[in-house]
Amino acid sequence: MRSVADYDASARATIRVGRRFTYRDPDTGEPRVGYFAMGSGKLTILQQDEAVILSHFIPGGGRQYVRSLPESTY
């Protein structure tokens, strides 16, 4: 990503087109909401209330990565 605005736009596009799921953060145990877009392979992670974007990236392993997260509903 070139800028914060690009990162934000990409994360929000992933939320719009991605499949929503929930899981527990493997490090903190906190509940999280994720959106994974199969076409781009991008993942956006949000706080449980979906008010804050915590992370946005292309995970190695794609869909398998999302499925392997603790308590994943994907």
How many C-beta neighbours within 10 Å does residue 52 have?
Answer: 9
pLDDT digits (tens, 9 = 90+) for 3-39: 999 999 999 999 999 999 999 999 999 999 999 999 9
* 26 occurs within a structural domain: yes
* 74 occurs within a structural domain: no
Segment 52-59 mean pLDDT: 97
Q: Which residues of 2-32 are buried (b: 16+ CB within 10 A; e: fewer)?
A: eeeeeeeebbebbbeebeebebeeeeeeeeb
* 73 occurs within a structural domain: no
**pLDDT band of 1, cuts 50, 70, 90:** low
Segment 27-53 mean pLDDT: 97
Please give the pLDDT value at position 2: 85
Strands 53-57 and 42-47: antiparallel
Name the residue range of residue 43's domain: 4-68
Q: How far apart are CA 42 and CA 2, in angstroms?
A: 16
What is the total count of domains within the chain? 1
Could you give the percent of the chain with pLDDT greater than 90?
Answer: 97
